[in-house]
Amino acid sequence: MNIEQNYRIGLTTQITGIRPETLRAWERRYEVVKPIRTDAGDRLYTQADIDRLLLIKKLVDNGDAISAVANLNYENLEKRISSCKSALTSTGKNDLNFILLGRTILDKKSLDSMRLNMIDVVQDERNIKSNYHCKIDFIITEIPTVNQGTFKYLQKVLKQSKASKLLCAYDFGKEGDIAALTTQDIGTTNLPLNHSGITDWCSSNFPNYLKSTSTARLLTDQDLNNIVAAGSKINCECPRHLADLINKLTAFEKYSSECEVRNAKDAEIHQELEVTSAKSRYLIEEVLIKLAKIEGIKY
């Protein structure tokens, strides 16, 4: 017997990538979904709500105003997605979809900054599904030690996941055994997993990675703090000034998404304000990342 699962708002925002304050604003203004309310007043979202929000988020990311898609039914949302499929493919976020076979905790905020979508997390390769709702670009496989039998095991995991590539994260191993793992489809990195280890490997293996027109955040608040702290040691104020601009634009982006509106036209201009500030913030983030690399700042 299948028991329908309901999701609290925290998990819903993690799955969909929609910020909690944005989701609440969309519900308040447009009733994009109507979550169940518990006796305590908490919101609970059904799987149908999740599926609907994922489509709406995809269309809004591609440039549709929320007011234009908020009240479409699921069938029409799918048709709209289908009609602009080529545009979504060529100008979308080009995020990479991956599966994690391991125990590392990767939070949604960090993954968004890395432009990665974690489709599934399993601790046993036997729990990898035969089919997922989207193409799996790669799978991260964590193992404690590398030995002569590791390569055969990784090939099995790669085949089972139907991923294009595999990144093996390990603790220990002989240099020769580790070198033997590196092929066109398999790469290696050290445990514990870190942002740069994953993103550097993705950049080397997926040509379009980080080269799209997405406006998702590239740097978390902690990333900015780390860059500013390191910048003070190189006698340069530019990292701090750029970080200040990013923080202000991020704040205005959030303000625009939450601002009360009076009618549909008012909603559209606020949506445009949010999108424009997000694009500006994104461009400055790119410049700051380049500056950090030139100055050897690790974050």
Token duo for residue 268 = 């559209």
Per-residue pLDDT of the chain (299 residues; tens, 9 = 90+): 344 568 889 888 888 888 888 899 999 988 999 999 988 888 899 988 998 999 998 888 766 778 878 889 988 888 877 765 443 443 344 588 999 999 887 777 678 778 888 888 888 998 888 777 778 999 999 999 999 999 999 999 999 999 999 999 999 999 999 999 999 899 999 999 988 889 889 988 987 776 545 567 888 888 899 899 887 777 788 999 999 999 999 888 888 777 765 655 666 677 778 778 888 998 999 999 989 888 888 87
Domain residue spans of the chain: 7-89, 96-205, 221-294
CATH of domain 96-205: 3.40.50.2300
**167 CB neighbour count, 10 Å cutoff:** 23
**pTM summary value:** 0.46
Same fold, 7-89 and 96-205: no
**Cα–Cα distance for residue pair 262/119, rounded to 1 Å:** 38
The topology (CATH level 3) of 7-89 is Multidrug-efflux Transporter Regulator; Chain: A; Domain 2 (1.10.1660)
- Residue 5: how many other CB atoms lie within 10 Å: 11
Q: How many CB atoms lie within 10 A of CB 46?
A: 17
Alpha-carbon dihedral angle through residues 58, 59, 64, 66, given to the nearest 10 degrees = -80
For residue 117, CA distances in Å to 134, 240, 241, 253 come to: 11, 29, 30, 22
Tokens of 158: 């790669």
How far is residue 7's CA from residue 54's CA, in Å, rounded to a whole number?
14
